A and B are shown apart, each in its own frame.
Chain A
Amino acid sequence: MVAIRDSNAQKLETELRRGVLVLAVLSRLRTAQYGYSLRQALAEEGMPIEEGTLYPLLRRLEEQGLLASDWRIEEGPPRRYYKLNAKGARLYDELTTNWRGLVKTMDRLLD
């Protein structure tokens, strides 16, 4: 029974995290980042993301017209840098406002 509860809790927590993943990624892309640096930046802030989830997500966000990307050769191999474009920045602002409202509501509910 305990195992079932634990697995349910894990599943629900994964769903919660999945819901905020896009906003978390957009928040770090206000400055240009390549995949690995982005993953590091998120992990440092307490939001570790699986590689297999993050990289396809970046491409999807780019296909949706929210990110701009370019290849840069600095130190090491060529790397693709991603950054919010104008549409992405607008969406980021909108989602941030919604998120803050949601946090307030949830705080009231949880207190």
Chain B
Amino acid sequence: MQAQELIESYVDDVARRLPRKVRNDVGLELRALLGDQLKAAAAEAGCQPDERMAIDLVHRFGRPDDVVSSYRERGFNLIEPGDAPLFVKLATICVGLQWALTLPAVFAGTSTFSAWWVSWGFGALAWPGALVLWFAAAAWVRRVSPVDPDTRRRPWTHWIFWLPMSEDWQPTLVRRPGAREVKLQIALAALATGFFAAPAWFLDLFVADASWARYDGDFGRWLLAPLIGLMVARLALFVAITADPRRRAPTEKLRFGLWAALVGLLYWSAFSWTIFAAPAVDAPFKAWLSVFLLVNTLQIVAWLRRARTRVRAPASRA
């Protein structure tokens, strides 16, 4: 193969992998560039371009796949690098837990390995998928609402800066979130609470028959009211904190207590009660609720660990 033919073949291979709209343009340019370099290499060696020079040249330039990837637009992180360790941890815990809880049935002889694998075993891999969606949504929110360099906060976020745990300072010292944003957040939280209280009623407004979204009778009778009560209490606290952002130890404890109680009650609901009367709705809802609860549990653990952490003076050496 002649040196120029080899270059042509390489350029064709790269061009085939490029998007159609730039294929010809980049291919032509690449051909000219490599041709120039081949000539320069030959001139330096004091001979005609040969196959060896062409091979060296294209090897130095890179594999066609790598060359094409450098021409592609920069992508984005589906999972933010900072979230990656948490994602791996959560995915491992979820898959490991599901396997650990269900695999013993195989060893106990109440199920076969193949039956386990096509149900709980392979099904556990849905966890990483669900978590990817979760983290991708978080990454998307961060991408579309970057931190404003002037206000140092993201649009639509309530918490502005770090606030001292004391009453002895003026709240006017910090820039408060816009009234419109706070009202919208409160309205959305109230709407979500209302939806949780009566999903079938809300969905009836949009679809002909939303009876599938009815709660199970016992759940509605015994657990719904405490859950709604906790949600309303959290919303009321949110409104109070927005009005006066000074952090106080009792308020923080109350905030944490309400949160932990809500998560605890949701755990009980998810694992000991039938939530939706229709099994086809109950099972997937509980799967999503499990992810929500898992994330919240980890947040609670992190909160508790942070609450106990103190900066200590280094031990002095004699």
Contact = CB atoms under 8 A, between A and B. Distances in A.
Given A36-B33, A51-B61, A52-B62, A78 B26 contact: no
A79 B36 CA distance: 10
A53 interface: yes
A80 interface: yes
Interface in B174-205: none
A104 B70 CA distance: 34
Contacts of A55: 29-30, 33
A73 to B, nearest CB: 10
Interface in B47-78: 60-62, 66-67, 70-71
Contacts of B62: 52
Given A59-B26, A78-B28, A80-B29, A52 B67 contact: yes
A52 B35 contact: no
B32 interface: yes
The contact size tier of chain A is: 10 to 19
A93 B25 CA distance: 30
Contacts of A51: 33, 37, 60-61
A76 interface: yes
A9 B110 CA distance: 59
B246 interface: no
Interface in B20-45: 22, 25-26, 28-33, 35-37, 40
Contact of B31 (A34, A71, A77): A77
A56 interface: yes
Contacts of A36: 32-33, 36-37, 40
B70 A35 contact: no
Contacts of B31: 77
Nearest to A50: B60
A36 B43 CA distance: 15
Interface residues of B, number: 20
Interface string A58-74: 01000000000001000
Contacts of B40: 36, 40
B35 A77 contact: yes
Given A34-B32, A51-B60, A80-B29, A59 B71 contact: yes
A71 B37 CA distance: 18
B47 to A, nearest CB: 19
A76 B29 contact: no
Nearest to B69: A56
A79 B37 CA distance: 13
A78 B32 contact: yes
A47 to B, nearest CB: 17
A51 B66 CA distance: 13
B61 A56 contact: no
A10 to B, nearest CB: 18
Contacts of A34: 32-33, 36
B70 A76 contact: no
Contacts of A56: 70-71
A65 to B, nearest CB: 15
Contacts of A52: 61-62, 66-67, 70
Nearest to B37: A36
13 contacts: A34-B32, A35-B33, A40-B40, A51-B33, A51-B60, A52-B66, A59-B22, A59-B26, A59-B71, A71-B28, A77-B32, A80-B25, A80-B32
Given A34-B32, A51-B33, A55-B29, 5 more contacts: A34-B33, A34-B36, A52-B61, A77-B32, A80-B29
Interface of B: 22, 25-26, 28-33, 35-37, 40, 60-62, 66-67, 70-71
Interface of A: 34-36, 40, 51-53, 55-56, 59, 71, 76-80
Q: Which 5 A-B pairs have the closest CB atoms?
A: A36-B36, A56-B70, A77-B32, A35-B33, A52-B62
